[in-house]
């Protein structure tokens, strides 16, 4: 559970000015959806039967503070319950450079 200090820090932070922190909400929602699917899958063993055992690859959920969750998401580190998160590939294609480099003085 997040402490009061973490919550105050989170809600008083000006996110619009921090370019590095901006997160695509659609990819974040996809991660949350995948997290919920993983939690449901890990509660049953595929046949609908509840399973109490963990595989070696299962991630055990942890009690994390809000700042720890933000830090892990920023560094693409799994948080409890999220497993095999696909890499987010940008579909933005940069424009080719339009300016020619300046000529050197001896080439003028």
- Radius of gyration of the CA atoms of the chain, in A: 22
* Residue, of 106 and 25, whose pLDDT is higher: 106
pLDDT of 24-70, one tens digit each?
666 767 777 776 555 554 444 454 444 444 455 555 555 677 888 78
Q: How far apart are the first and last CA of the chain?
A: 66
* Residue, of 47 and 75, whose pLDDT is higher: 75
What's the residue count for the chain?
Answer: 108
d(CA 9, CA 12): 5
pTM: 0.21
**Residue range 96-108: average pLDDT?**
79
Query: Across the chain, what does the average pLDDT equal?
Result: 67
**What percentage of the chain exceeds 70 in pLDDT?**
46
Please provide the DSSP assignment of 36-88 as one string: HHHHHHHHB-SSS-B-----TTPPPP----HHHHHHHHHTT---TT--SPPPP
Query: How much is the pLDDT for 50?
Result: 46
Query: How much is the pLDDT for 51?
Result: 46
């Amino acid at each position: 559970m997040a402490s009061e200090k973490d919550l105050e820090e989170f809600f008083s932070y000006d996110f619009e000015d921090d370019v590095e922190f901006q997160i695509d909400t659609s990819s974040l929602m996809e991660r949350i959806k995948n997290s919920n699917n993983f939690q449901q899958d890990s509660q049953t063993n595929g046949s609908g039967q509840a399973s109490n055992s963990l595989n070696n690859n299962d991630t055990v959920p942890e009690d994390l503070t809000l700042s720890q969750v933000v830090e892990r998401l920023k560094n693409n580190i799994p948080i409890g319950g999220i497993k095999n998160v696909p890499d987010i590939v940008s579909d933005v294609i940069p424009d080719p450079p339009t300016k020619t480099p300046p000529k050197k003085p001896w080439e003028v």
